[in-house]
Structure 1
Amino acid sequence: MSVSPPPQLPLPDPQRAWAYRPASPLAGAAGGPLAGLTFSVKDLFGVPGWPLQASTRAPVPDPGPSPLVARLLALGASAAGKTQLHEIALGITGANGFGGTEHPVLPGHMPGGSSSGAAVSVALGQVDFALGTDTGGSIRIPAAWCGVVGFKPTKDHPAWPTQGALPLSPSCDHAGPLARDVRTVARVHAALTGQPIRSAPWTGVQVGLWLPGDWVTPEAAAATQAVAAQLQALGAEVHPVAFPEVLDAYSPTVLGEAAAVHRAALAQPEPPFLPATLAALRQGAALSGAERAAAGERRAAYRAGLDALFARVDVLLAPGVPSPPPRMGQEDVELPGGPVPLRRAALRLTAPFSLLGVPVVAWPSPRPFVGVQLVGRPWQDDRLLGLALTLEGAL
């Protein structure tokens, strides 16, 4: 027997950030380490009694209840409602079947995606933190464009399970938080792991600066260079490094896995996805076994390359986005080398670290809303957050 969701509270939402807001939040346990904090839930996570649409008008599989949401509630945080996303999480702009989400303070501009509503709910101070997902940049891109902090943990981190969340690409999907400061992110992570996060010194830390100049606008380059200078002032040693574009491995992997997830909807005569979503899913469904296998081989080669890079440096510093927030409907971004499709321009900066499963802190910068990524070695999530805490304190 189906259970009707509790009544929804009709609050103003001009940015269309919210998918569902009950009249009363789901209250967290009294006295827990997260007591007093509120959070929003990206509408991919199953919450008993709440609807799940994944910001699409197409039917989606039921992922079951999310143990991560249940754990956050048990730790004392209260869930305020569900946020909109780029349709089924397959995109970076925030477009969906319900009008799409708009930037929190720049009318007519994109907030980024796919965790678009999550970032907006945090940027507007509607919640203390947001629960999002990141498959190729879906936490980090909206964090940068909305001026908030994001954290993508190491792939399959036990504190951040993706069970009970509608998958996009199971081999690339991550769950993680967005907040207005690193301190809140560290508090949530520490509560989930049971281990405190302590500020870590930058003295002697070897930082690889990945700044492909033709891939970013002057604003994004300047933001990255400013953080590099701050890290040097804190005692780090910064060295330029290079890393290739990985979309030839990333795109076939994600599209092939996404098509498998949404196989039932694709079997309908006219699946009610947005045209761009439907085209991407059909592209994934058309991939041959040989094409999928070749993408896996390229992925392994990129993993070996990142391992070799981390043998020389402790942390990578990279741009978070290629440019300030684009206007809604914009398809290309003008870069030093000429116009580049927006999807490629953004994902080639963020996709390596979800494809390869390493932890990343998305660090915001002041207007014009470009940010940076601090990338750590696998399973050094606590140290990376400790370094980010020190940077936040210095600034």
Structure 2
Amino acid sequence: MDFDDSHEEAVYRQQVRQWLAEQAPKWAQPVGRKETEAQKMTRARGWQSLKSAHGYVGITWPVEVGGVGGNPIEQVIFSQEESRYNVFVTPFQVGMGMCVPTLYTYMPAEQAMRYVRPAMRGDEIWCQLFSEPAAGSDLAGVRTRAVRQGNEWVVNGQKVWTSYANHSDFGLLLARTDSSVAKHKGMTMFFIDMRTPGVEVRPIRSMTGHTDFNEVFLTDVRIADAQRLGEVGAGWRVALTTLMHERLAIGKAADAPGVDQLISLAQEVCSGGVPLLDNASIREAIAQVYVNDAGLEFLRMRAQTALSKGQEPGPEASIGKLVMARTRQQVGALGMDLLEADGLDSENPKVSPFQYYYLFAPGLRIAGGTDEILRNIIAERVLGLPSDLRVDRDVPFNEIK
């Protein structure tokens, strides 16, 4: 494992760090300031546009589709440095990290540029229409159907937990086109305009009060066969391409509270005139957070080392997501516990970061692979344990009970 950048990486990091120091503070949200959804989206689009104009969007994308043509380690370095600022990038993560790379992989370059460049500038947002009420962790269980009629497909079904669908212009859609074959063989991938007649988006208000997640209902939605990505029935292969392009975000969110915030809070809050930090059990709980974060940092370094050598990070990366989501929830709970009854005051700027991550973390533990799925990956692909029995592997989808 390498703990230091190579000479070329260090030069690039310094270039990125200097540019961000000059530009990012203008687009970062001041701590404690409340924003409307519209204000956040305006800030996100402005920051995306500025990054694109200076070559910090599509860093690893091919030049022929409008990308920078850089390498994965440069994307990692930029993501690491950007995470130091409270800029709002979430609405573009799925599109930039997964949807658009899939699009240009399965579409002629000249055609792909119509969609790539507006997405890079932040003019258009993409979402991923994968998960369904009966197909979350088992993505191959999708029941949304696409029936061919001439040069068109008619789609009916429902998607759920679709991030930022309420702000999206386009989406990648995985649908079942053949129920008479095994579930992994009967799906096809499309992209759709979210304004197409028959597409209805219903925001889901989460415990945080936000509407990042959505239900999407598709009723007799007609899409052209030209919007198909890959061959008919090869949707699973295309979906794997999408997941392989998942964003190389090796770093935590800028606004996520951690050890420093917990120590500061435990020094300020007193019990019987004595700071809580003097309590051994409090110090032990904070130390556990430190240990978790240190382990995550070493995992990030391992992944970064692999990328620096031109290799792909291994399945060990699943450990990082599993530990990160649980740790953020533990940090939120500990921060609120330290404040006792005041921990329920969402208007208190000391409380709000802890409260937000306490409420947000359960969703984080589901998104991008549930804890249970990640444990299976670790067990099978890292530890070499026997795989789960999959009794429906070769059964036609319409015969699965």
TM-score (norm 1): 0.25
Structure with the largest fraction of helix: 2
